[in-house]
């Protein structure tokens, strides 16, 4: 199980900018990189259109997600997780997030009005230590 996530400062800044640009709606995207044991390393963050365009949920554009997955695979990387924003609430999984996380066991990075946190589903929601570099 992944217990730590390393992410570049530039990627954190991108996520914050996307949150502000899309406020009050949620923004979303994918985290591309590698995993090594309990460590996941984000090497690139890609913005994906939220086709739901709502204040309380998101849905990654299927074509953009497929293109991101294809690009990652061609570069020997993988989609290690997703990010989305909670511009008008805290960075904790919503009820919808919890239900979806159980069926999508990858890292979920959430940027909210109170900061940014990472989670993973492993027989329940677990916090992933976030290390910005």
Rounded distance between C-alpha atoms, residue 11 and residue 54, angstroms: 23
pLDDT digits (tens, 9 = 90+) for 25-48: 999 999 999 999 999 999 999 999
**Whether pLDDT at 6 is above 90:** yes
Cis peptide bond N-terminal to 24, omega within 30: yes
What pTM was computed for the model? 0.95
Residue written as token pair 């290390």: 131
Give the domain ranges of the chain: 4-132
Rounded distance between C-alpha atoms, residue 66 and residue 76, angstroms: 15
Kind and range of the H or E element at 72?
Answer: helix 62-74
CATH (residue range 4-132)? 3.40.140.10
Position 104 scores a pLDDT of: 80
Q: Which of 82, 73, 48 lies closest to 62, judged by CA?
A: 48
CA 56 to chain centre: 15
Is 2 within 8 Å of 131 (Cβ atoms)?
Answer: no
Mean pLDDT for the chain?
96
């Amino acid at each position: 199980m992944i217990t730590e996530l390393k992410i570049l400062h530039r990627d954190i800044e991108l996520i914050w900018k996307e949150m502000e640009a899309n406020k009050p709606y949620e923004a979303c995207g994918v985290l591309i990189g590698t995993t090594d044991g309990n460590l996941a390393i984000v090497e690139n963050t890609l913005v994906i259109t939220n086709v739901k365009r709502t204040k309380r949920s998101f849905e990654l554009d299927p074509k953009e997600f497929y293109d991101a997955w294809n690009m990652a695979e061609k570069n020997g990387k993988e989609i290690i997780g997703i990010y989305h924003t909670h511009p008008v609430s805290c960075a904790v999984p919503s009820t919808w997030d919890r239900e979806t996380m159980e069926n999508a066991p990858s890292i979920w990075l959430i940027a909210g009005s109170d900061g940014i946190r990472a989670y993973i589903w492993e027989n329940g929601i677990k916090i992933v230590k976030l290390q910005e570099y």
